[in-house]
Chains A and B, each alone.
Chain A
Amino acid sequence: MKRLAKTVFLVAGVLAVAVFSLGPFLWFVAAAFKTPSEVTAIPPEWFPSFSMAFFQSAVTRYGIFRYLLNSTVVAGATTVVTVSLGALAGYALARLPRRWSRVLLMGVLACAMFPQIATAGPIWRFLRLLEWLNTYQGLILPYVAFTLPLSVWILTLFFRELPEDLEAAALVDGCTRIGALFRVILPLSAPGLFTAAILTFIYAWNEFFLALLIMTDPAKQTMPVGIALFQGEYTIPWGEIAAASLITTAPLVLLVLLFQQRIVKGLSAGAVKG
């Protein structure tokens, strides 16, 4: 009897969590497949008629492919640069004597905590000086700075697990230091690099505040800015917003479904170690 009650309780809890997590989002994106009158119907129209009109208008009238392209370029480049720099720095921090790496790691960690607003004004002025406002590199570089701390952190922890004998053996075999890093250490670190890459990509894909400041030209705006600034002529274009939201979120949902364990590990790295 007690066992049955426990099972019922567990099932109810699991269902409640699933509905709470997915329900609101599913309801929202269902609007993308409706007709305008179905979106605003009361009582609500539970089942969409699977009209694709909103997707069509999101593409033709709002040009969301342009936003999608910008987001892909910015998030992709940010990921490549951050993981490359993060790997070099993480390796150095893992191998430097503790009393050095201690101070440096604390500094890097503190950078991750700073509010964006405290850097926004000077970054904007700096980019204006370089004439990099409304350019890809103008957004990518600040993103690299804001994603580096977490990547350095994840990779430092990862490299510390690899024994130093590995490089020592490679050096004896005639590798240079940099050769040992690229031919021995990095290939072994694929899982760590991959975790850092996923988290960096998600950050850069979702970021809004800096993108809003730096990309004022609609031709250069990323998906989040496009979605936030969607304007209809008379009413809010919910259908188009929902369609664009679904397209923006789909790759992230895919990443989560495929790599959830890696993501969880990366996020909690350091938080509970030891």
Chain B
Amino acid sequence: MNQMSHRFYLLLLLPTLLVLLLFIAGPVGQSFFLSFHRMIIGLPHLGAPFIGLQNYQELLNDPVARHSLWVTLIFVGTTTFFELLIGLLLALLMHRRFPGRGALRACVLIPWAIPTVVSAQMWRFLFNDAYGMVNYAMFGAETSAYIPWLALPSTALFSLILADIWKTASFAALLILAGLQVIPDELYQAARVDGAGTWRRFRHITWPLILPALLVALLFRTIDAFRVFDLAFVMTQGGPADATNVLQLYGYKKMFVEGWMGYGSAVSACIFAIILCLAVAYVRMVGRRLLEAGTG
């Protein structure tokens, strides 16, 4: 390949790189820059003085931020675990051959396709304290026993977790299913001939071979769960008593509701750092497979 065609390819790449630079890489860099400054949106005449690590120092001593991190970690851990577990079961079910398999797969995809805002309003309706289906299913017409799910600190986070699992378990299932489908049938037949039962076939063939797909799903779900915002914004606004004040919502409030651009940038820089670590792991894994796929 000659120099000319390289230049041609780089020209084709240029618009994409420009958009990514202007709207992703550049802003991320500027967020870091702003996080070392004091800047208030509503008070432009104060300017943006450099204050070193002061924003980060404040952040370390901010109990709301620490609580927010804790809430986010619980959310991420619980949702990811259950999404993978349910996703695995769903994938094993959808991998079997039966009439109507395509229809079932479409059913499973629907929660994924529904806008998160819509599913958040839906769960807010289902968790309603006076006429919600969840309460009716648990207590029947005994309205005095009804639980105000979204208004209690002890149940609000649980409600959000359930809503998230409902919406995204199907995504995990699809990734795992794709992994299941590349396992050759001959392996199972050979194992059957050797007298291996269902459990041993799962343990020694299915499990090791879907592990890569499972890991990809794990990282993908973890990264996505860290970015949770829509559910908390619509269902609880972060309340009650900050019980569902996840990191991205906290950063949003600091930056755009209270106007602390510099401090909010420090919050977003921390979220970015957490996700960067996960993303590096993800890109290393997926990126390598992508390249191997191309050279094969």
Contact = CB atoms under 8 A, between A and B. Distances in A.
A85 to B, nearest CB: 5
Contacts of B275: 113-115, 118
Contact of B105 (A91, A107, A125, A260): A260
A73 to B, nearest CB: 17
Q: Which of B26, B113, B140 has the most CB atoms of chain A within a 10 A radius of its CB?
A: B113
A60 interface: no
A50 interface: no
Interface stretch (A51-59, A187-195, A222-230): A222-230
Contact of A271 (B28, B98, B286, B295): B286
B113 A245 contact: no
Contacts, number: 310
B131 A122 contact: no
B208 to A, nearest CB: 14
Contact of A146 (B24, B118, B174): B24
A256 B113 CA distance: 7
Nearest to A205: B115
B90 interface: yes
A223 B116 CA distance: 12
B51 interface: no
Contact of B229 (A27, A209, A245, A257): A209
Contacts of B24: 111, 114, 119, 145-146
A119 B30 CA distance: 8
B117 A208 contact: yes
Q: Which of B10, B30, B114 has the most CB atoms of chain A within a 10 A radius of its CB?
A: B114
A256 B109 contact: yes
Contacts of B1: 97
Contact of B216 (A10, A144, A271): A271
Given A22-B110, A267-B174, A102 B118 contact: no
Interface residues of A, number: 102
Contact of B121 (A20, A181, A245): A245
A274 interface: yes
Given A223-B115, A249-B118, A270-B286, A92 B268 contact: no
Contact of A273 (B25, B174, B289): B289
A274 B110 CA distance: 28
A176 to B, nearest CB: 10
Given A114-B275, A270-B289, A208 B174 contact: no
B252 A227 contact: no
A41 B1 CA distance: 72
Given A89-B16, A113-B279, A121 B114 contact: no
Given A113-B223, A117-B268, A208-B116, A44 B286 contact: no
B271 interface: yes
A96 B217 CA distance: 29
A41 B131 CA distance: 7
Interface of B is mostly: helix
B132 to A, nearest CB: 9
Contacts of B276: 113-114
Interface in B204-236: 212-213, 216-217, 220, 223, 226-227, 229-230, 233-234
Contact of A121 (B9, B229, B265, B271): B265
Contacts of B76: none
B23 A256 contact: no
A197 interface: no
Interface of A: 10, 13-14, 17-18, 20-22, 24-25, 27-28, 31, 39-44, 85-86, 88-89, 91-98, 102, 104-111, 113-126, 141-142, 144-146, 148-149, 152-153, 157, 160, 177-178, 181, 202, 205-206, 208-209, 212-213, 223-225, 227-228, 230, 238, 241-242, 245, 248-249, 252-253, 255-257, 260, 263-264, 267-268, 270-274
Q: What 10 A-B pairs are tightest by C-beta distance, nearest first?
A: A145-B23, A113-B279, A122-B27, A268-B178, A119-B27, A89-B16, A92-B9, A273-B293, A274-B293, A206-B115
Interface of B: 1, 5-6, 8-10, 12-13, 15-17, 19-20, 22-28, 30-31, 34, 90, 93, 96, 98, 100, 102, 104-111, 113-123, 125-126, 130-131, 133, 136, 140-141, 143, 166, 170-171, 174-175, 177-179, 182, 212-213, 216-217, 220, 223, 226-227, 229-230, 233-234, 247-248, 251-252, 255-256, 261, 264-265, 267-269, 271-272, 275-276, 278-280, 282-283, 286-287, 289-296
